[in-house]
Structure 1
Amino acid sequence: MALPVTYIQVVAVERVTPRTARITFEADALDDSVGRTPDQQIKLCFPKPGRTEPVLPGGGDDPTGWYQAYLAVPEDERPWMRSFTVRGRRPGTRRLEVDFVLHGDGGPASAWADRARPGDRLGMVGPSELYARPVPLATAVAGADWVLLAGDETALPAIATLLAALPAGIRAVVYAEVADEAERQPLATPADLTVRWVYRDGAAPGGPLTDAVRAADLPGGTPFAWLAGEASAVRAIRRHLVEERGLAKASVEFAGYWRHRLTQDDAPTAEDFADAQEKLAQAG
């Protein structure tokens, strides 16, 4: 299975909330499968200062080999790389939509998105099962009485695509943490949906979401749970669901998208390694 690598170019920028920019890209090459299934993860490569587009190594059948080629790019030219979820695909085109959270801390992705204009170019790696397996949504939902989706604003693109893919009639409960009421987004689904918006209002990320799920009066029966967002919050919610609510580990999909006070350029922590090992074991 080849690892797709291509350049993408901005064709439109929309502010869907004060802190979220939805950017539409035209890809130089785009597989037909992109944007057809929920929670498709990609990696975007951002150019270093002074460059109009990133230096992008070629693709291959081995993600480790591609990453070694990426690391071989001289440091002053090596692009910043960040993970995102495909928010949507324009049917019949090579266009896709990606949502960026504008957190204003000077991070390369947020800073780039805040000033993005049509014609700007990035590199894109994936989506590919080589580094991110698809969520087994159909199988999981078939064995569940209801669905729980919980995450912060970084998880909203994935939550939106998962909700759109749910079958009609199944009950779905979403807990979504955002900065404040202005960051709410519409979520469409054929499912029977309940959304609980959780506002940080200046609190540390992840804490309000964790507290809200712990205090939640959740439906009875056996759920399928999907969790994503700040890593320590995801870890705490998963532990609560398994140890205190009695959910089977196999019925909880989880992903730590980001780490408070750390970036993707920082070394993994011991907890990051433990999460990765458990996800590998669960996938196997």
Structure 2
Amino acid sequence: MHHTQDRPARRRRLHARILVAGCTAGAVLLTAAGAHAETGGAEARTSLAVQAAETVERVTGTSDLVPGTPLGGGATRAEVTTETSAARITAPATADGAVEFAYGTDVLRLTLPGSAASQATAGANGTVVYPGAGEDIDLAVQPNRDGVRTLVTLKDADAPTEYRFPLGLPADAATEVLEDGSILVSRGEEYLGTFDAPWAKDARGEAVPTEYRVEGGALIQTVRPGPGTAFPVVADPAWFIPIAIVAGRLLLTQGVKSISRHAAQRMAQRGISQEMVARTVKTGKKTKGKSPGTWKYTTGKVWVVVNKAGNVVSVGRN
């Protein structure tokens, strides 16, 4: 009788031990699988970041890049220094943040057209990438000696073809689209910087049609892949800041105070860099200009005209 009553109790205890053992084993398996998935996820993210950086660096190269240092929260900051000042370029922590360019008291912000879910990964060469920043796209930010490039990689034909970069300009600054497609940013007659003429290249290095417009306080880039376009396509809004290459402040050492809007337009149209202007004023042959009170500086390739107020008023190629 005692045996008969004891047998069900033993069965219940055995079932309980089996259940506990099963749950424990399951928990161990789940923990191991979770750890593997987490490790695998990290490895996958690293692989995607490396691939995204390699894609843009094949197009842009790396020789002019300026690696940054990590900031709190995942952002990265690079500094481009000259003899007199420094420009600070900050790449945001996520793909919906703003790239910030600060030089002197001027700050310009360009908000990226991506998702907050895509986090920044800084590469060894200085490229900061945002894999999976949007539907079928990656984003990248490249601080460099001239300013900063903000790159969109269209992974395939399903990627959007229009990208909106909201602008935060210094007070009283205005934009103007020039004949070559570049965008001049100025404040009165003071030249603050330029978004260089847009470009896009496919996987074969072939040019893909692209253009800018400014609308509703945003820089909008449209990319137009065709039937023969090889993906991925890399497109680039590039911002050039005067201080990064000495044009504004370093020219003060040569008695030059600023670059006029007219001169900045000519620089963009004629492919004359800020460094070329600085070098010409510093080392070129000095003669009287055609207009009263102006001086002309000439090297083998470039000429620069400076007025008596210390403004670069015109530039050209010989």
Structure with the largest fraction of strand = 2
Based on CA coordinates, which of the two structures has the bigger radius of gyration?
A: 2
TM-score, normalised with respect to structure 1: 0.23
Higher RCO (CA 8 Å, separation ≥ 6 residues) = 1
